[in-house]
Amino acid sequence: MNRSVIFLVSLLCLALASCTSVQVSSYAGQQPRLIMEEFFNGRLTAHGVLKNWRGRVTRYFNADILAYWQDGTGTLEEDFVFNDGQRQRRVWTLQPVAAGGYRGTAGDVIGTADVQVAGNSVFLDYVLRIPRGDGYVDIRIDDRMYLVAPGVLINESAMSKFGLPVGEIQLVISKAD
């Protein structure tokens, strides 16, 4: 098989795989039920790893999160410390929208994040601007979070560029209170 045929078959497989992705509604009946205003309220901690497209851990991090709600709008102040000493701050604003979801914004998010909640799960879809060298690169993030016990949330994120996988993030978020 020549390389152009292999490339076209690979693109077709990628397209088909994206059509069959799991929806957050698949978790509507799962417990414990994730209520955003309850879980993301107060002090939380996060601990995770970043992997490259080959699945190799390239960095790890810890974060302190202060989350609160006022007049129905949520704020998550995230302060990250990476293993190389780099510090990063992201402040999310979550505003409720129809059908139980939210619209999320942050300084390094391009446009808005679509946030959907069902059962024990919350899925986010957004484009994150990441510093790279002297410039930036915009990466699509498919975030999937699952409340596995009261106060413990597992998060897996797929990162892609032009529809191709470039890495992933795995982390645990825990209530600190």
Which domains can be identified in the chain, with CATH numbers?
A: 25-175 (2.40.128.20)
Phi, psi of 20 (to 5 degrees): -105, 20
The confidence score (pLDDT) of residue 3 equals 56
The confidence score (pLDDT) of residue 157 equals 96
What are the pLDDT digits (tens) for 120-139?
899 999 999 988 889 999 99
Task: Give 17's DSSP letter.
Answer: H
Pairing mode of beta strands 73-82, 87-97:
antiparallel
Above pLDDT 90, what percent of the chain?
76
Tokens of 132: 């790279």
Helices (runs of H) and strands (runs of E) counted in the chain: 2, 10
Phi, psi of 12 (to 5 degrees): -65, -45
The confidence score (pLDDT) of residue 177 equals 66
Among residues 88, 81, 90, which one has the least CA distance to residue 61?
A: 81
